[in-house]
Chain A
Amino acid sequence: MSGLRPVAVNLLGVVEHPELGGTPYRVDCDGRSYVPAGDGGIVLGPRLGESVFAWDADHAAPGACLVHPDQAARHALAAYSCIGNQIVVRTGHAAGARGAVLGQRGEQGRVIAWLAPEDLARMRPSDQVAVRACGQGWRPPGFPDEVEVLNLDPAALDVLPITAAGVGGTVTAGVRATVPSKLAGNGIGRPSVSWDLDLQLRVPFRPEDASGGPAPGNLLLGDLVAVSSLDARYNMGYRRGWLTVGVVVHGASPLPGHGPGITPILTGPQEVLRARPDGAAHAGLTEAVIRQLTAAEVQLQ
């Protein structure tokens, strides 16, 4: 869809209340039961730039998860919302507060909304949030045809460590680390526009889990991470010689097959899409970047 202009759609998200079944327990990868804290809803504490292992929580995201009471509308909210999309709180104590989409989560669909900590602390479940969804289907001008961009607001590309050498050239993303596709857990085989992909990383970190770059044990919320041999153009799945780059949007999980999750933003053949391990110098989606994105006045088209 090269050359087509993206449209923006105002969607309504409702702040989620966490849900548990009749028993509070989940079972971790060593067979121990635990009560999941931080899995959805409004989570106070985690901040972008902190380690994905910093909190004893399950899938905790730095922000508020948005859903919609109608399941089909909820899927659309998750599918069309993109990283960097501007959001405005419409109701409740934080009405008027502005933030941005940080990413999404799968299953029934959730959008992770970043808000400044002082705004987040004033919110409660059922608060309404407007999302200016824009980005799916967008192709940046001058991008090589082989590389797909997804889940990314057009304004967000410029503030992330991504450079394109033009049509026929390569795209390079600065990343914290590259991990092999065998670490891909929950989210594999699911549509990349509406699910995140959990990376099965846990502490203590095992050196054999990384291929180049610093230990994923240092993975931070908001980091860009590359996954080798992963194609995320449609559903996410194994493809030799392919590379996918995503943004880390939530923290680790004790559950087997789960872990810190990435929202994919770039996918293409490894000859065209390159990952550059930046090590300790890496800066991905930081609070400073988000504040830059939210500083502009919201345009309602």
Chain B
Amino acid sequence: MKVSSNAARLVSQVLAGEVWPALADRHGFRVGPDGQPFSLPGMGGVTLGVHCGDPATGYASDHLEPGASVRHRDPDANMALQFLTCVGNQVRVESGPAAGAVGHVIGQHAYVLVDFAGAEMAGITTGDQVTVTATGQGLALAEHPAITVKNCSPGLLADLPGGTRPDGRLEVHVAATIPAEAVGAGSGMVSEYANTDLMGAYAGLGEDLSLGLEGLRIGDIVALQDADHRFGRGYRPGYLTIGVISTGQCMLFGHGPGPSSLLSGPADAFGVVTDPDANLASWLHQGQEWSR
């Protein structure tokens, strides 16, 4: 993105995390939109075979978190890890057979979500230690003071197409535009933690549940209409939030594929261009082998 920023003034912090196990309870089943019970994998652990550019929905999964789900054992250190880590930050595996593998953060979901190339992902499991080089919080666009940057690494900002237009707007390319009706769980939470689940993307379920979002892909850059995420996530007519789809398929009602927040401000501060290539897969892991 051709835009001036304070990227050169941002520091990096070296953070530690651990690939976190999938969690369940003794009751097993949760409840879908029509009351259907389900017990499905996808959240926590290392979810294989789904990478940036792949469909977000259509899996027998709930709260699908592509790749490795990372936390820190200490609650306060974990919040630092979750808040400070930004999309595009580099993550290195420190222990286990995949030690040395390098991936990238694709979003947050109460875990830091890390996408690795498939061959490397196969060697990662719960308990493996990782190092996150966190940079991006505090990123600001001097020529676009109405727009707040969230969870976006300077590297990702540079990779994004678009930039400052002659008319002063910030051109942003998005793969999809999301209506305000789709915003589900995550509304009312802070913008630096977890993400905004989108309803209306329940592939294979009723037409009355659909908001036409079944075609979303992991890594898609999307525009959320009437959403103000500058100071937490809320509905606000006339505002726009740019996010990246970091989680996929949900069966739990009121949940769904979720964007982590990247940019937020008045809608008229943006120039939105619909672009099917607006996906993290276009910029991250260039040149790597993507075996499934």
B235 at the interface (CB under 8 A from A): yes
Q: Which residues of A contact B33 (CB under 8 A)?
A: 231, 234, 237, 239
The reply to whether B209 and A257 form a contact with Cβ atoms under 8 Å apart is no
A29 at the interface (CB under 8 A from B): yes
Q: B residues 196-227 with Cβ under 8 Å of A?
A: 197, 199-200, 207-209, 211, 226
Stretch in B49-57, B153-161, B184-192, B276-284 with 4+ CB within 8 Å of A:
B184-192
Q: A29-B228, A182-B226, A188-B184 are in contact. Are A237 and B235 (CB under 8 A)?
A: no
Taken residue by residue from 256 to 293, chain A's Cβ proximity to chain B (1 for < 8 Å, 0 otherwise) reads as 11100000000000000000000000000000000000
The reply to whether A257 and B254 form a contact with Cβ atoms under 8 Å apart is no
Q: Which residues of A contact B180 (CB under 8 A)?
A: 182
What total of A-B pairs shows CB separation below 8 Å?
111
Least distance between A215 CB and chain B CB atoms (Å): 15
Taken residue by residue from 11 to 34, chain B's Cβ proximity to chain A (1 for < 8 Å, 0 otherwise) reads as 000000000000000000001110
Least distance between B205 CB and chain A CB atoms (Å): 10
The reply to whether A189 and B234 form a contact with Cβ atoms under 8 Å apart is no
Q: Which residues of B contact A190 (CB under 8 A)?
A: 185, 254
A241 at the interface (CB under 8 A from B): yes
A51 at the interface (CB under 8 A from B): no
A235 at the interface (CB under 8 A from B): yes
Q: A30-B231, A231-B253, A257-B235 are in contact. Are A188 and B208 (CB under 8 A)?
A: no
Q: A186-B187, A240-B208 are in contact. Are A256 and B252 (CB under 8 A)?
A: no
A236 at the interface (CB under 8 A from B): yes
Q: A residues 219-243 with Cβ under 8 Å of B?
A: 229, 231, 233-242
The reply to whether A200 and B252 form a contact with Cβ atoms under 8 Å apart is no
The reply to whether B232 and A208 form a contact with Cβ atoms under 8 Å apart is no
By beta carbon, the residue of chain A nearest B180 is A182
Q: Which residues of B contact A206 (CB under 8 A)?
A: 237
CA of A198 to CA of B183 in the docked complex: distance in angstroms? Answer: 13
The reply to whether B254 and A236 form a contact with Cβ atoms under 8 Å apart is yes
CA of A238 to CA of B35 in the docked complex: distance in angstroms? Answer: 14
The reply to whether B232 and A29 form a contact with Cβ atoms under 8 Å apart is yes
B181 at the interface (CB under 8 A from A): yes
A185 at the interface (CB under 8 A from B): yes
- How many of A's residues come within 8 Å of B, CB to CB? 37
Interface residues on B, range: 35 or more
What does DSSP make chain A's interface, helix, strand, loop or mixed?
A: loop
The reply to whether A256 and B209 form a contact with Cβ atoms under 8 Å apart is no
B172 at the interface (CB under 8 A from A): no
CA of A231 to CA of B202 in the docked complex: distance in angstroms? Answer: 15
Taken residue by residue from 171 to 207, chain A's Cβ proximity to chain B (1 for < 8 Å, 0 otherwise) reads as 0000000001111111111100000001010000010
Q: Which residues of A contact B209 (CB under 8 A)?
A: 238-240
* Candidates A29, A181, A233, A242; contact of B181 at CB < 8 Å: A181
Taken residue by residue from 231 to 274, chain B's Cβ proximity to chain A (1 for < 8 Å, 0 otherwise) reads as 11111110000000000000011110000000000000000000
The reply to whether B187 and A29 form a contact with Cβ atoms under 8 Å apart is no
The reply to whether B231 and A200 form a contact with Cβ atoms under 8 Å apart is no
Which of A182, A237, A257 has the most B CB atoms < 10 Å from its CB? A257
B71 at the interface (CB under 8 A from A): no
Q: A29-B228, A188-B187, A237-B254 are in contact. Are A257 and B233 (CB under 8 A)?
A: yes
CA of A187 to CA of B186 in the docked complex: distance in angstroms? Answer: 9
The reply to whether B184 and A29 form a contact with Cβ atoms under 8 Å apart is no
By beta carbon, the residue of chain A nearest B250 is A189
A50 at the interface (CB under 8 A from B): no
**A-B residue pairs in contact (CB < 8 Å), sample of 8:** A28-B231, A189-B185, A189-B254, A189-B255, A234-B33, A240-B208, A257-B188, A257-B189
Across the A-B interface, give the 10 residue pairs with the lowest CB-CB distance, nearest first. Answer: A189-B185, A189-B254, A257-B188, A256-B234, A186-B188, A237-B254, A257-B234, A256-B232, A235-B253, A182-B180
Chain B residues at the A interface, C-beta cutoff of 8 Å = 31-33, 35, 179-189, 197, 199-200, 207-209, 211, 226, 228-237, 252-255
